[in-house]
Amino acid sequence: MATENINDLFIEELKNILDAEHQITKGLPNLIKASESLELKDALSGHLKETEGQVERLNKIFSLLKIKPQTTSCKAMKGLIDECDAVIKEFSKSALRDAAIIAKAQRIEHYEIATYGTLKSFATELGLIEITALLKTTLDQESAADKKLTKIAEGSLLTAGINSEANSK
Ligand code: FE
Ligand code: ZN
Ligand code: FE
Residues pairing with 154 in the sheet:
158
Who's near 37: CB < 8 A, 6+ residues apart? Answer: 95, 98, 152, 156
How far does the centroid of ligand 1 lie from the alpha carbon of residue 79, in Å? Answer: 16
How confident is the model over 104-117, as pLDDT tens digits? 999 999 999 999 99
Segment 120-141 mean pLDDT: 98
Query: CB 28: neighbour CB atoms within 10 A?
Result: 21
Lowest model confidence (mean pLDDT) among 43-57, 82-96, 125-139? 82-96
| Phi, psi dihedrals of residue 154, rounded to the nearest 5° | -65, 130
Amino acid at 6: I
Query: Residue 132: what pLDDT?
Result: 98
Question: What pLDDT, on the 0 to 100 scale, is given for residue 125?
Answer: 97
Q: Which CATH number fits domain 6-151: 1.10.357.10, 1.10.579.10, 3.30.420.40, 1.20.1260.10?
A: 1.20.1260.10
What spacing in Å lies between the alpha carbon of 4 and ligand 1's midpoint? 27
- List CB-based neighbours of ion ligand 2 within 5 Å: 16, 74, 76
Kindly state the greatest CA–CA separation across the chain.
52
Residues whose CB falls within 8 Å of the CB of residue 11, separated by 6 or more in sequence, listed in order: 65, 67
pLDDT confidence band for 167 (50 / 70 / 90) = confident
- Integer Cα distance of 2 and 12 in angstroms: 10
Per-residue pLDDT, 163: 74
DSSP state of 5: S
CA of 102 to the centre of ligand 2 (A): 21
CB 135 within 8 A of CB 61: yes
Q: How far is the CA of 111 from the centre of ligand 3 (A)?
A: 9
Domains of the chain by residue range:
6-151
Q: Which ligand is nearest to the CA of 73?
A: 2
Look at residue 3 in the predicted model and tell me its pLDDT.
Answer: 78
Single-letter amino acid, residue 66: K
